[in-house]
Every structure is written in C-alpha cells, then in structure tokens.
Structure 1
Amino acid sequence: MTDLGGRTAVITGGGSGLGAAIATALHEAGAEVVVVGRDPSKLDAIVDRLGTKARRVVCDVADPSSVDRLRDALADTEISILVNNAGIAGPVAALTDISVEQWDEVFDINVRGTFLMCRAFLPAMTARGSGDVINIASVSGKRPLAHRTPYTASKMAVLGLTSTLAFEVGPAGVSVNTLSPGPVAGPRMERNFRLEAERSGSTVDDAEAAFVSRAALGRMVTEEEVGGAVVAMLGMSGMCGADIDLSAGMVA
C-alpha cells in the first residue's frame, strides 16, 4: 500500500460521502488530513472518527474570500496533496426546464470551486517543486447522460481544466490528474434514481437497473473503492495529466 506518511492532504467536500471515504483512505495510508466543507457538524464527525492527524476547516469553495481564509489558516502547514472533491449533482430535468440559478450553482461548486482551490494552493507546491492535485470528475463528463446537462458539462470542464493545468505546473514538479468515478452507491445516486423515476414514471428499481446495466460489471462502484483509487494514484510516480476511469466499466 502507498505510504503517505509525512504528507498532508486537503480534501474538499470532506464531511460525507466520497470526501469522507477519500479522507479515510488517505488517513489510513499515513497522511495527515484536513477535511474541508460547509457543514461543521459533518466535518466534526469525520475528524472525531479519524482521531489523530485529522482536522477540519469550514470553507465554501465557491467563495473566493472563504478559500483565501482557508489558505491563510493552513499557511504554516505544507500541503502536498489537494483533492478537489466538492461537488453537487444538480437538477434531473430537461435542459429547457433548468433555471439559470440551478445551472450556476452546479458550475460555482463543481468548476469554480476547483479553480479557486487550485489557485490558492498551487503556488506553494510549485515553489517547493512537488505536490499532487487530484480533481474528482465523473464518467458523466465523457458520455451522454440525459437530463443532467449542468452536471455533465461541469465535469467535462473539470477534465479540461485538469489536462491543461498539468502542462502549466508539471514542469515545476507538480502532478495534476483526474479520477472519474462512475455511479457510486450511496445517498446521491439514490436521490438521482428517485428523481429519474418521478420524471419518467418508472419505478426507482427500474431507474437504477437501467443505469447500472451500462456498466461492464453490472454494478456501481463503492465509496471505499474511490478512496482506494485516490491512494493508488498518489503512488503512481510519473503520472500527470491523466484521467483514471473507475466506473465498473461504464465508459466501455
């Protein structure tokens, strides 16, 4: 297993779901973790569970001043791993039924938040000549997903941001990569299946079955598998500008 002892990681959206699973995997690999999010009670719960070498900072990644305060609060800590996981699923609806406010909310968190976090923490990494940034995208940024245009467009934007940024900071010794999970079993997908069932007049079970049938393994991936993939990526020296698919074969 990759040994991350002596390294400190910042994980956005770290209070629950994928963020908590990624924080847990990094912590188990030896890293000190800083979980970041908007809900202090959720952040407290994950820090209490992890115990030593774990702390939390409340931050809204879509707010430049909030991200600046986060950077300043960690100024005395060498952040060598940044995982941009914060994101929202957005509406499940036809594009013509989506409001400007709904569209902007998805892009503010999923894309603007990734930009602001990279802008805040990359200067120190490039000055040191080392560091890793992993942006969590989605297979939905690489294949059609009807009635999810804000989400899929935002994840495609994250893929483009990652590949270009890798060429900006790679020469300084900083690796920037993307992990693209497929549907991850948990509350978010349960919500999506419920909304799709309501929209289409089908059952929740039918909506789920139709979705996972697109995966070669015929199932969703787990939060623990995503956390393990992040740790594995950090052990792959020489990888930069890559997009790693973790979808149980959905892209295939």
Structure 2
Amino acid sequence: MSRLTDPLAGRTALVSGGGSGLGAAITRSLLSDGARVVITGRNERALRDTASRLGPDVTHRVCDVSRPDEVASLAEGLAGEEISVLVNNAGIAGPVAPLTEISAEDWDEVFDVNVRGVFLMCRAFLPAMTERGAGDVVNIASVSGKRPLLRRTPYCASKMAVIGLTATLAGEVGPLGVTVNSLSPGPVSGPRMERNFRLEAERGGTSYAEAEEAFVSRSALGRMVGEEEVGAAVSAMLRMPGLCGADIDLSAGMVAR
C-alpha cells in the first residue's frame, strides 16, 4: 500500500484530548483512513462515550498529559501496541485577561497542558518509533502562536512554544525515520470559541455577535474552520511522506490578513 493513498491502513494512532471536539474529529478522520485509534484524556466518561460511538477500532485510556507519572503509566499500558502515529491534541484555552491580571498559577496550568504535555508524550512514545525507524508525530498548535490575540498571552505563548518544539524535534528524529510536524488551526467553531466570544463580549462591553464578528472578519474567507476540516488536515499531512519540520496553517486565511 502506498503512503500517499493508504497512510494509516493497519496502523495504530494515539490521540490525546480525544474525548471530544478536535480530538474526536481527528479520530474520526484517522479511522476513515484505516487506522486503529487509542484516545486519551482526563474525562473518562467523555472518552468512553466517544469510543463507544465510534466503534470497535477505538479504545480509550485516561491520562492527564501534564503529569509525568500518568504519561509513564499510559506508555506502560500500551507497551503491547505499536503506536506509529502520535497526535498531540490535548490543550486548554486558559484565561482571557490582560497579562497583568493573569495569575502565575493560571499561566503555569496552560503551559503544563499545552507544552509540557507535548514534551512528555513525545518523550514517552518516540523511543519505540525511532527504534523501528518509522513513525509520525502531529502536534496541534494554533495560528494564535504566530499573530497577536489580545488578552490571551498564555495560550499564544504556549502554542508558539509547540511550533518551536516541533521544528527542533523534527531535526532530532527525522534522520531516524520519524516525521514531526505541527498543524495550526485558526478559530474553530464550537464550544471553546463560544466561550471566548462570551468572555470577550463581557470584558469589552459588546454583544456576543459583535465579539464574534470582530474575530471572524480577520479571516480571508470570513469564517471559522470546522472540526472536521482539522481532522481531514491531519490525515492529509500523514499522506505527505516528505513533510517534516513543517507548520501548516488551517485558518480560513486568518494569517493572511
């Protein structure tokens, strides 16, 4: 089978933050390409419900990716699986506030999940990939790591860190047969953006509709991207065997303006 046409047939992928939202959408796309998928996250009920809904080729494991002991336990529990695709999707939005009003605890929480989690998962699952001389890592970053997003400094800084981690790690493990890339979605329609628009409206004294329009109007296509588009983009990246050390924008043109 060609990597270009069947990039995941017979392979096992691990998706963090897989219980809902982008993680579930990515899982659906990987399944459609023939993969078995292990989803992980902190919410056991959400994971179980998603796995049950998506069928027998999805299993779930509870894991907080920011905790070294839990990631180590996850890796030990999956030692019998040949995880050849790792999608680091787990992330939190963090506070919406000026930097001077953000607590050190809130800042650390964002970096613990969004950056430390990527580090810990890569550290745990890369050795088996490099030993086999094959594997793929896709880190979910954000266009917010590359353009200003007011009152979101922890989130933006954490996503830029993921992009930097990706580029450097690709140089380390690419020669060993493992590709590492990042996908940077723009605003994705769904509950997280709805929360952000509500908070922006409250803080700015505007309506929800005005907060949404101010954000969406920055994109060339005048819209947000959908969760299924993000899932399809991950699958598309896995069809590109020469892609390594890249960061791909999926933003409906958010970066173009």
Indicate the residue corresponding to 1:242 in structure 2.
246
Post-superposition Cα deviations, 1:175-225, rounded to whole Å, max 9, x if no partner, equal: 000000000000000000000000000001000000010100000000000
CA distance in 2, matches of 1:237, 1:28: 19
Paired amino acid for 1:18: L
Unaligned 5+ runs, structure 1: none
Indicate the residue corresponding to 2:193 in structure 1.
189
Q: What CA RMSD, in Å, does the superposition of the two structures yield over aligned residues?
A: 0.7
Q: Report 1:168-183 matches (<5 A).
A: 168-183=172-187
Indicate the residue corresponding to 2:73 in structure 1.
69
Q: Confirm or deny that 1:85 pairs with 2:89.
A: yes
Give every structure 1 segment of 4 or more consecutive aligned residues whose post-TM-superposition deviation is greater than 6 Å: none
Indicate the residue corresponding to 2:223 in structure 1.
219
| Aligned sequence identity (%) | 71
Indicate the residue corresponding to 1:131 in structure 2.
135
Paired amino acid for 1:168: E
Equivalent residue of 1:176, what SS?
strand
TM-score, structure 2 as length reference: 0.97
Indicate the residue corresponding to 1:37 in structure 2.
41
Q: Confirm or deny that 1:144 pairs with 2:144.
A: no
Residue 95 of structure 1: which of 99, 113, 127 is its match? 99
Judge conservation of contact 1:166–1:176 (CA < 8 Å) in 2. Answer: yes
Indicate the residue corresponding to 2:125 in structure 1.
121
CA distance in 2, matches of 1:142, 1:57: 32
Paired amino acid for 2:120: L
Residue 27 of structure 1: which of 24, 31, 34 is its match? 31
Q: Confirm or deny that 1:162 pairs with 2:178.
A: no
TM-score, structure 1 as length reference: 0.99
CA distance in 2, matches of 1:45, 1:228: 22
Equivalent residue of 2:158, what SS?
helix
Paired amino acid for 1:51: G
Residue 17 of structure 2: which of 13, 16, 24 is its match? 13
Post-superposition Cα deviations, 1:120-171, rounded to whole Å, max 9, x if no partner, equal: 0000000000000000000000001110000000000000000000000000
CA distance in 1, matches of 2:156, 2:191: 19
Indicate the residue corresponding to 1:228 in structure 2.
232
Judge conservation of contact 1:2–1:231 (CA < 8 Å) in 2. Answer: no
Judge conservation of contact 1:2–1:234 (CA < 8 Å) in 2. Answer: no
Following superposition, the deviation at residue 2 of structure 1 comes to 4.2
Task: Label 1:2 to 1:50 Cα distance change in 2 as closer, same or farther (>3 A).
Answer: farther
CA distance in 1, matches of 2:224, 2:143: 12
Aligned pair count?
A: 252
